[in-house]
Structure 1
């Protein structure tokens, strides 16, 4: 089954897409990557998304408009791609957390526009069921991480450095958001610090770094999740040269992530996300976590920039086959849950026969055609 995964992450800069042709070989799920792409949001739409994010407040009219416009942007990306099913994450606008408990999560991008444009069924609203079961609704990518790490030697973890950083640990099974990855760096050096050049040119302000490390979130026990509701663009107010501010925020990400890698005594860390391409951030991480070894997810067949889109392709396949796509020990839910709701396409909705057993490992291959 060819499943198109679509997501715009916490960097809210555009839509990532991945088409994977999935098949089950015994208890190993094999996937051939047919397409991998990213398409930036139209500047006007991105500006409206940014203006809707905390701490800003908007009215229901703008929520309705964004739900439509984001859905249409996702539909534009999906149109013409070879797929049998689509799984769309949409764009997170708000993740409602109180006293460490997630009470709700809101992703916009009306799936009806995608189904109408493509004629394909669409799995959407993927996080809500885990939240309803008492979970954090994140990091859902932990399901893919654990399949990727199956059989690897030593103490292994998987780290995703997007807007927010999340870590999955194989033994004991655990996953959570560690704090900001690129969110604060991007806010200080929009749209982002290319190749970590600003951070490399700056000097870390030890006083500001110590002040930022006092954030209570870092001391909370997992499972836990966070987002730009806490780490807003104006989270840091400091009168520093830009390079020094970016260097300090890069060190904040490195130190908070490294503390968790040291905590779990990890030997090998599989890293993905945009931050994996930031040499200054990665150098800071390595210096704080030696002798841990970092490998990119590319080495396991999962392009670092496309891992989340591939994960949502996987979630679509699991939902279509009646299989849960959550790990309760990772999200904190009361049990594993089948994720999402399904919007039918132009034909009557027909799903495969449900599978009794979930795969225990995953193998990906292919050199996909890319399209912006």
Structure 2
């Protein structure tokens, strides 16, 4: 291996007597032997899938011990691919990284070359991981929504607005001139969401308690839903004719209790977002937009930066629903 290191540090999760525990461990470089790109990770970021993996969710990670981290940005150390040279700065998000392939909470990762893309010119490594999978998902949602809706078509509503995908969706939509309404369960975050660009804040409990009719007053041109369940139901029922909604999460519920009326009487479009297997040619388009015309002016206000030693505490907060902002994990400093 073309590295002077024989070991590296990683946040490892182990199953011991049916219980799961994490620790910072020193790993041999031989544990990353194989084909693909060897990447020295500079930054990762914390996502809900990482928190699930770290708590032993076998639906996310089948075998332990394991290193979570579905996001990584860093420099290529070894490359069998003509597309990437040693020293290139690259982003790797989703696919199987951090799920059943050891992920970005280690100082090095080994991944297939077709999981990586070059860091856009107008984006720092830190910015790339402030975005991470959450930013890519928000970008994909905005990209799909903007095909069908223009800012002049009306208000756009975003659920889970203080979460990673939600907060970045609010910021990007506002940057593009949309009038954004933000749904949150955290009344204390109103000022924060307005700084990101939300024009109006709607409390989750109020939105969940809307009438149970098959159709509600058409109030929104469309929306970006990150939570599923009753919130998504009410967004769909409240959307104007020919409106569009994207959905990417199910933390509230994977189930919808709906009639077909919003779809056949109002022509509503419901668009699913799959960030894990989003085609690479389209990822490159979205990442370029995130690096340039979509980059929010408030991007640097949307994260907290930590090191590996602080990671478990942030995971605990995320699982309790108490985490605000994106969590950036510094592995190796850029400068």
TM-score by length of 1: 0.33
TM-score by length of 2: 0.35
